[in-house]
């Protein structure tokens, strides 16, 4: 009997079209993911070269005045891209993966955006997570919506029933057949991805694969539940598609809407105004208070002085720059708090909706979520602070630029380190599966009264 | 006779559908969703509008309240410009979320427009944003397909069609009639949305309502009206052509998926591969190369500026720049600003051309895809499209340039060549009254005709589709009755 089911499944053109379309869409997504990673790495190479050339030129132009050199010189920090980002690009195409900053005030630099076509950003990427979250459920629906109803409507149901005593078992076998064939394609894609995109076999990749499998399983559980009502083919299709639209269109869009309504971020405006004032108005003020505040911030620099009566010194200049950051710091912290709140609200709400949850989880496994952007921004702050503190004494004691070992100021890297929280990744999906299977059980009797 | 049939069929569709509970529920749910999205987006936009106004005012005040100082200090103090959104953004937020909202304008360099909503949003934003336009463009067609897929095929399946035809009806009557009925049903979603949008526009932003806005809104409504008719006709036509209701449903769902999801993504992904746009770092490198070619206005030995100096000295018949009747440093900076802006704009122009080509790829997809076409038209009219954004960027850059050059002019004219010597007032600094004389950034939105010029193609596409479908229905005698 099962053999017959297998033959009939693979003899149907639609089955092949469905499986092949997942495979091709998946391959296409891997290709584009690969391009994205390549571009990111290419940019990194460019940045390494640029920084080297830049330093050489600046040292040549300003061999003595290290203060002036550092007024111009930018140092880059790379937000190391994870190989998994080729599968889930996430927010990586929105925020920059490299930030280049000079040691002047950071607030004016750290929000610098990526150069990109906004229309294309709106349409979004064709990455593996898109294929998985959006596309595969549709194929599952297309392959399963008329599993029983088709036979009923085609008049072969009685014939099929006469071949077996276990109706439910037969339906289950039909579904499992579809389930396993889609899993085979999915696993095949993940294996190809591993080699094609050279993804290391580690915990994160394992989690990525497991979440993908759980997500596909969730959709089969949904299908199992819906067909347990024994509706007509058209009704099945309508119900399943409505569920898809609800989970994949309405819910995520609504969460985004709620987040921006509940946590608007006027702080983005506030910080730029504050940091600009903080620095620029010091030109018009007495120098002493600025310097006092600076020394209060960095007591270790108290030994340096502004030459009495001088119109200008780098000491005073960088103290002014520091005020730009210091006076905006309250607003800036507020902004980061808001971002944290946004992350928490999105994640907590998404937990109850498998599609949204899966997308967020895949992004975060690929270090491509909003949390990663926030971490990178904080890493940039630390990086900038280190550079500052390293150079301040040199500038203030007027060391010649040429004495610095510039070779060691190469492009720096930030790599996010995070643990996989298996329970948090999987329980929303497992719960979803459980609910659907449980609900299907309530309809169980129908399987015997056909 | 036929018009009578059309009326009968239309009424029949409307009446039977409205008797079905699920249809009424769906109507209610959609109306509610649209109300909620219009209202919340309106709230978000209003809030944003206040923030923009409040901070713009603050920036202006701070600019004017700057004390007496050297004009070049003011050129570095610069200006902050916040992106204003067109008042219709609440209807269709378009690409707003992906656009920067604030830009720092200063002498010597073009800063990026930063702090887009997307850069502070989770990955869920990529699923789309909850807005009236999303509901109307994507989900209402799906609703129309749900309601319409079996309107003809079912009649054929249960034999009613045969009877109808024996009573003198013909295909045109049936198809147009059912299309009209389905369309009227869709209007029960659209018309309330339309009225509610109008109310929001009228009651809350009275100062912003002008003929420009009303023309945009008018065309927006007409276009959506056309779009829904298109979708209804498509549903009915497919229903008429398909062998079974199930077949019709599958075809329509396939069309919907392909149009709304797959084709736009494929078009943009292909566009990206075919017309790769430079990354920020690649772009910065190119700009830097251009600037290096121009010479360095800060470097006294730079050949370009050496030459400039020699010729200026020769014209004024003096030996040193100190003897010039104007501030030479200001003069050099003015030249430098001119050259660097030109170089930057040249590079940026190239980038824009790439974006334009990429966007045209999407427009091209719009020719076979009315869902892309309506998206383009809707964004453009709601002032949340690409053209509006680029126009904002261009206006901000123009303002930056004029600010830098105005400050250079002040320096050339009013600051002495010799440090510490004075021309008027205190030495080396200017009276603060000069700052207020420099006008505020006055952003003007693109006009209705400019928008039309941008998106006429997409409008034509929608009309073309309507015409094509009309012809198909008109010459549809070959469809099967049984």
Does B410 or B297 have the greater pLDDT score? B410
Q: Report residue B220's pLDDT band, with 50, 70 and 90 as the boundaries.
A: very high
Mutate to test the interface with B, among A239, A243, A257 (most CBs of B within 10 A): A257
Show the CA angle centred on residue B403, arms to residues B402 and B404, nearest 5°.
95
The H or E element containing residue B203 is helix B171-204
**What would the 3-class secondary structure string for B324-350 be?**
CCCCHHHHHHHHHHHHHHHHHHHHHHH
- Minimum distance, in Å, between the CA of residue B95 and any CA atom of chain A: 6
Complex ipTM value: 0.90
Closest by CA position to B370, among listed B467, B299, B268, B249: B467
Q: Report residue B119's pLDDT band, with 50, 70 and 90 as the boundaries.
A: very high
Mutate to test the interface with A, among B30, B73, B124, B242 (most CBs of A within 10 A): B124
Residues with Cβ < 8 Å from A236, sequence gap 6 or more?
A: A145, A146, A149, A226, A227
Closest by CA position to A138, among listed A254, A22, A30, A32: A22
Q: What is the pLDDT of residue B306?
A: 83
Q: Is B363 within 8 Å of B374 (Cβ atoms)?
A: no
Q: What is the pLDDT of residue A446?
A: 62
Q: Report residue A447's pLDDT band, with 50, 70 and 90 as the boundaries.
A: low
d(CA B214, CA B197): 12
Q: In what order do the strands lie in the sheet with A98-101?
A: A98-101, A75-79, A412-414
Q: Model confidence over B85-99: pLDDT tens digits?
A: 998 999 999 999 999
What is the percent of chain A where pLDDT is above 90? 71
Q: What is the pLDDT of residue A189?
A: 97
What residues are paired with B440 via a beta bridge? none
Q: What is the pLDDT of residue A390?
A: 96
**Domains: count for chain B:** 1
Indicate the residue of A94, A116, A253 with minimum beta-carbon distance to B129. Answer: A253
Count A/B contacts: CB-CB distance under 8 Å.
244
Closest by CA position to A227, among listed A151, A163, A292: A151
pLDDT at B180 over 90: yes
Structure tokens at B387: 């053209």
Q: Is A130 within 8 Å of A195 (Cβ atoms)?
A: no
d(CA B212, CA B228): 24
d(CA A142, CA A240): 9
Residue B183 lies in a domain: yes
Residues with Cβ < 8 Å from B461, sequence gap 6 or more?
A: B366, B367, B370, B373
- Minimum distance, in Å, between the CA of residue A300 and any CA atom of chain B: 30
Give SS3 for B481.
Answer: coil
Q: What is the pLDDT of residue A11?
A: 74
- Minimum distance, in Å, between the CA of residue B268 and any CA atom of chain A: 6
Q: Report residue B421's pLDDT band, with 50, 70 and 90 as the boundaries.
A: low
Contact B121 A370 (CB under 8 A): yes
The H or E element containing residue A100 is strand A98-101
Number of CB atoms found within 10 A of residue B471's CB: 10
Residue B35: give the domain boundaries. 2-474
Q: Report residue A165's pLDDT band, with 50, 70 and 90 as the boundaries.
A: confident
pLDDT at A450 over 90: no
Q: Is B8 within 8 Å of B170 (Cβ atoms)?
A: no
d(CA B228, CA B184): 10
Q: What is the mean pLDDT of residues B259-282?
A: 89
d(CA A247, CA A429): 13
Closest by CA position to B362, among listed B348, B380, B350, B383: B380
Contact A276 B78 (CB under 8 A): yes
d(CA B70, CA A399): 30
pLDDT at B297 over 80: no
Number of H helices, E strands in chain A: 19, 3
The H or E element containing residue A250 is none
B248: closest chain A residue by CA: A234
Does B238 or B478 have the greater pLDDT score? B238
Q: Which of residues 71-100 of A touch B (CB under 8 A)?
A: 90-91, 94-96, 98, 100
A113 touches chain B (CB under 8 A): yes
Does A114 or B426 have the greater pLDDT score? A114
pLDDT at B407 over 80: yes
Contact A115 B280 (CB under 8 A): yes
Q: What is the mean pLDDT of residues B34-63?
A: 92
The sign of the dihedral angle between the CA atoms of B229, B231, B237, B240 is: negative
Strands A98-101 and A75-79: antiparallel
Residues with Cβ < 8 Å from B250, sequence gap 6 or more?
A: A142, A237
Q: What is the pLDDT of residue A427?
A: 95
Q: What is the pLDDT of residue B298?
A: 62
CA dihedral B326, B327, B333, B337 (to 10 degrees): -40
pLDDT at B464 over 80: yes
Q: Report residue B423's pLDDT band, with 50, 70 and 90 as the boundaries.
A: low
Residues with Cβ < 8 Å from A232, sequence gap 6 or more?
A: A149, A153
Contact B124 A257 (CB under 8 A): no
Q: What is the pLDDT of residue A309?
A: 85
Residue B481 lies in a domain: no
Q: Model confidence over A106-143: pLDDT tens digits?
A: 999 999 998 999 999 999 889 999 999 999 999 999 88
Q: What is the pLDDT of residue A4?
A: 74
pLDDT at A367 over 70: yes
d(CA A182, CA A220): 10
Question: Tokens 């309330």 map to which residue?
Answer: B192
Q: Model confidence over A295-305: pLDDT tens digits?
A: 999 999 999 98
Indicate the residue of A61, A249, A281 with minimum beta-carbon distance to B139. Answer: A249
Tally the C-alpha atoms within 13 A of residue B307's C-alpha that lie toward its C-beta.
Answer: 6
Number of CB atoms found within 10 A of residue A407's CB: 8
A111 touches chain B (CB under 8 A): yes
Rounded to the nearest integer, the mean pLDDT of chain A is 91
pLDDT at A237 over 90: no
d(CA A368, CA A359): 11
- Minimum distance, in Å, between the CA of residue B42 and any CA atom of chain A: 10
Q: What is the pLDDT of residue B316?
A: 86
Q: What is the pLDDT of residue A182?
A: 95
What secondary structure letter does DSSP report for A249?
I
Show the CA angle centred on residue B369, arms to residues B364 and B373, nearest 5°.
70
Contact A91 B122 (CB under 8 A): yes
DSSP string, B77-134: H-EEEE----GGGGT--TTGGGS--EEEEETTEEPPPB--SGGGS-GGGGG----HHH
Residue B440 lies in a domain: yes
Q: What is the pLDDT of residue B6?
A: 86
Structure tokens at B182: 């389905």
d(CA A78, CA A345): 28
Q: What is the pLDDT of residue A445?
A: 67
Number of CB atoms found within 10 A of residue B61's CB: 9
Residue B479 lies in a domain: no
**Domains: count for chain A:** 1
Mutate to test the interface with B, among A120, A124, A261 (most CBs of B within 10 A): A120
Residue A56: give the domain boundaries. 2-448
Does B310 or B80 have the greater pLDDT score? B80
| Environment class of B266 (CB within 10 Å of its CB; exposed 0-12, middle 13-18, buried 19+) | middle
Contact A360 B122 (CB under 8 A): yes
A8-44 burial code (b ≥16 CB/10 A, e <16): ebeeeeebeebbebbbebbbbbbbbbeebbebbeebb
Closest by CA position to B127, among listed A240, A87, A130, A93: A130
Residue B173 lies in a domain: yes
Q: What is the pLDDT of residue B294?
A: 79
Q: What is the pLDDT of residue A346?
A: 95
């Amino acid at each position: 009997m099962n053999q017959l089911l297998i033959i009939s499944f693979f003899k149907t053109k639609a089955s092949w079209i469905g499986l092949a379309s997942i495979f091709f869409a998946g391959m296409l997504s891997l290709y584009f993911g690969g391009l994205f990673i390549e571009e990111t790495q290419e940019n990194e190479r460019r940045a390494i070269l640029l920084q080297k050339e830049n330093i050489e030129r600046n040292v040549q132009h300003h061999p003595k005045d290290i203060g002036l050199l550092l007024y111009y010189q930018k140092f880059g920090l790379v937000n190391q891209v994870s190989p998994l980002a080729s599968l889930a690009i996430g927010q990586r195409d929105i925020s920059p993966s490299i930030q280049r900053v000079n040691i002047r005030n950071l607030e004016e630099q750290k929000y610098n955006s990526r150069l990109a076509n906004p229309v294309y950003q709106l349409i979004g990427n064709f990455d593996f997570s898109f294929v998985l979250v959006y596309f595969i459920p549709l194929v599952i629906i297309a392959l399963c919506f008329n599993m029983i109803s088709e036979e009923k409507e085609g008049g072969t149901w009685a014939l099929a029933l006469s071949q077996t005593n276990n109706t439910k078992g037969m339906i289950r076998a039909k579904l499992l057949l579809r389930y396993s064939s889609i899993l085979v394609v999915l696993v095949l894609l993940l294996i190809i991805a591993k080699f094609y995109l050279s993804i290391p076999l580690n915990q994160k990749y394992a989690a990525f694969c497991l979440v993908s499998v759980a997500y596909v399983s969730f959709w089969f559980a949904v299908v199992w539940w819906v067909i347990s009502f024994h509706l007509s083919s058209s009704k099945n299709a309508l119900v399943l598609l409505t569920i898809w639209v609800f989970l994949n269109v309405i819910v995520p869009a609504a969460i985004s809407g709620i987040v921006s309504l509940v946590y608007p971020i006027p702080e983005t405006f506030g910080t730029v105004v504050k940091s600009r004032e903080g620095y620029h108005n010091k030109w018009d003020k007495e120098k002493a208070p600025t310097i006092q505040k600076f020394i209060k911030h960095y007591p270790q620099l108290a030994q340096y002085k502004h030459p009495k009566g001088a119109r200008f010194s780098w000491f005073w200049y960088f103290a002014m720059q520091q005020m730009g950051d210091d006076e905006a710091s309250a607003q800036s912290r507020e902004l980061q708090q808001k971002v944290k709140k946004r992350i928490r609200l999105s994640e907590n709400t998404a937990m109850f909706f498998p599609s949204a949850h899966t997308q967020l989880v895949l992004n975060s496994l690929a270090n491509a979520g909003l949390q990663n952007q926030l971490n990178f921004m904080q890493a940039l702050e630390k990086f900038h602070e280190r550079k500052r503190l390293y150079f301040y004494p040199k500038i203030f004691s007027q060391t010649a630029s040429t004495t610095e070992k510039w070779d060691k100021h190469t492009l720096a890297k930030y790599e996010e380190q995070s643990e996989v929280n298996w329970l948090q990744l999987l329980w929303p999906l497992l719960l979803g599966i459980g609910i659907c299977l449980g609900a299907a059980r309530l309809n169980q009797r129908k399987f015997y009264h056909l | 006779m036929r018009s009578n049939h059309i009326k009968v069929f239309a009424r029949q569709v409307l009446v039977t559908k409205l008797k079905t509970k699920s249809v009424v529920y769906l109507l209610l749910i959609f109306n509610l969703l649209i109300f909620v999205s219009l209202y919340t987006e309106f709230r978000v936009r209003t809030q944003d509008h206040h923030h923009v106004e409040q901070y713009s005012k603050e920036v202006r005040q701070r600019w004017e309240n700057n004390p007496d100082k050297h004009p070049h200090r003011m050129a570095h103090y610069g200006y902050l410009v916040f992106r204003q959104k067109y008042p219709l953004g609440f209807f269709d937020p378009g690409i707003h979320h992906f656009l920067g909202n604030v830009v720092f304008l200063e002498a010597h360099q073009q800063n990026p427009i930063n702090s887009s909503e997307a850069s502070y949003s989770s990955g869920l934003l990529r699923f789309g944003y909850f807005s009236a336009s999303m509901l109307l463009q994507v989900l209402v067609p799906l609703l129309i397909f749900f309601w319409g897929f079996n309107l003809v095929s079912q009649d054929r399946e249960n034999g009613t069609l045969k009877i109808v035809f024996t009573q003198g009806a013909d295909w045109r009557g049936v198809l147009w009639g059912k299309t009209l009925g389905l369309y009227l049903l869709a209007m029960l979603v659209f018309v309330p949305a339309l009225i509610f949008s109008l109310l929001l526009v009228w009651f809350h932003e009275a100062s912003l309502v002008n003929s420009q806005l009303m023309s945009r809104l008018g065309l927006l409504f007409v276009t959506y009206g056309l779009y829904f008719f298109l979708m209804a006709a498509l549903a009915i036509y497919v229903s008429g052509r398909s062998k079974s209701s199930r077949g019709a449903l599958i075809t329509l769902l396939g069309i919907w998926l392909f149009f709304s999801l797959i084709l736009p993504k494929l078009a943009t992904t292909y566009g990206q591969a075919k017309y790769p746009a430079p990354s920020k770092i690649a772009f910065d490198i190119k700009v830097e190369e251009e600037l290096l070619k121009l010479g360095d206005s800060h470097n006294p030995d730079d050949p370009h500026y050496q030459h400039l100096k020699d010729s200026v000295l020769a014209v004024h018949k003096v030996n040193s720049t100190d003897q010039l009747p104007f501030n030479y440093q200001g003069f050099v900076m003015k030249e430098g600003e001119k050259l660097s802006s030109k170089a930057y704009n040249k590079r940026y122009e190239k980038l824009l051309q790439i974006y334009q080509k990429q966007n045209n790829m999407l427009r091209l997809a719009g020719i076979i895809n009315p869902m892309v076409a309506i998206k383009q038209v809707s964004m453009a009219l709601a002032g949340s499209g690409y053209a509006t954004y680029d126009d904002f960027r261009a206006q901000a850059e123009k303002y930056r340039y004029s600010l830098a050059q105005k400050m250079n002019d002040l320096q050339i004219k009013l600051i002495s060549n010799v440090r510490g010597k004075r021309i008027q007032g205190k030495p080396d600094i200017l009276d603060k009254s000069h700052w207020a004389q420099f006008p505020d950034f006055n952003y003007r939105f693109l006009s209705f005709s400019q928008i039309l010029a941008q998106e006429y193609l997409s409008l034509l596409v929608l009309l073309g589709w309507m015409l094509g479908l009309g012809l198909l229905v008109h010459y549809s005698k070959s469809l099967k009755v049984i």
